[in-house]
A and B are shown apart, each in its own frame.
Chain A
Amino acid sequence: DAGVTQSPTHLIKTRGQQVTLRCSPKSGHDTVSWYQQALGQGPQFIFQYYEEEERQRGNFPDRFSGHQFPNYSSELNVNALLLGDSALYLCASSPTGTSGRNEQYFGPGTRLTVT
């Protein structure tokens, strides 16, 4: 099991563009959470997906949206990119649904740079 995988590893976009990041959860996990980690900061919760629905959301604008597929993989979409969206985007998966009491396993992240 490769654990949580994310693609791409790095990405450079221009202001105003749109981006899609992808995440495949660890085998047996059905819940995916996305985090944004700016330089020098801790991860900030964006949202969580379970059963193909957004279950919880952090303080992020509607420009940030997501999707979960029947195979539990997930996408994070960001529209109208701003310079401030430059960060490491982390995906984490866990084996439970909304109770979320089990350990989260993190992916390596996607480094997004907006110029």
Chain B
Amino acid sequence: AQRVTQPEKLLSVFKGAPVELKCNYSYSGSPELFWYVQYSRQRLQLLLRHISRESIKGFTADLNKGETSFHLKKPFAQEEDSAMYYCALRGYQKVTFGTGTKLQVIP
């Protein structure tokens, strides 16, 4: 079975502070990990994926197979980063989402 855990329902940080959204997964094979974001009144959209090893909007995420984690990080939070963030795993050709973390950036 595949599982994604996001332990924080809400994360509040001040503008300019570092952000780390936690994601842990359980999967027996080689997973594909993703971060999706949903801004207020917008549809769910892909933020980044681990195979691309890219930085999008200043966010990065590194797959740590030893700790089975894929935490999302940004060194300096911006107000426009406030949104709902979902970690997702693709395995056995289906995608499993975590329960999401609401990021609130305080001006």
Residues of A at under 8 Å CB distance from B? Answer: 4, 33, 35, 40-45, 48, 55-56, 58, 90, 98, 100-101, 103-109
- CB-CB under 8 A from B86, the residues of chain A are 42-43
The number of inter-chain residue pairs (CB within 8 angstroms) is 44
- CB-CB under 8 A from A44, the residues of chain B are 97
Indicate if the CB atoms of A42 and B99 lie closer than 8 Å.
yes
- CB-CB under 8 A from A90, the residues of chain B are 44
Residues of B within 8 A of A (CB-CB), count: 20
Indicate if the CB atoms of B93 and A56 lie closer than 8 Å.
yes
Give the Cβ gap from B94 to chain A, nearest Cβ, in Å. 5
8 Å CB interface, B23-52 against A: 32, 43-46, 49
Most A Cβ at <10 Å: residue of B4, B6, B95: B95
- CB-CB under 8 A from A48, the residues of chain B are 93-94
- CB-CB under 8 A from B32, the residues of chain A are 101
Indicate if the CB atoms of A107 and B43 lie closer than 8 Å.
yes
- CB-CB under 8 A from A45, the residues of chain B are 94-96
Give the Cβ gap from B54 to chain A, nearest Cβ, in Å. 13
Give the Cβ gap from A3 to chain B, nearest Cβ, in Å. 8
CA distance A86 to B96 in the complex (A): 20
On whether A56 and B94 interact (CB within 8 A), knowing A106-B43, A106-B44, the answer reads: yes
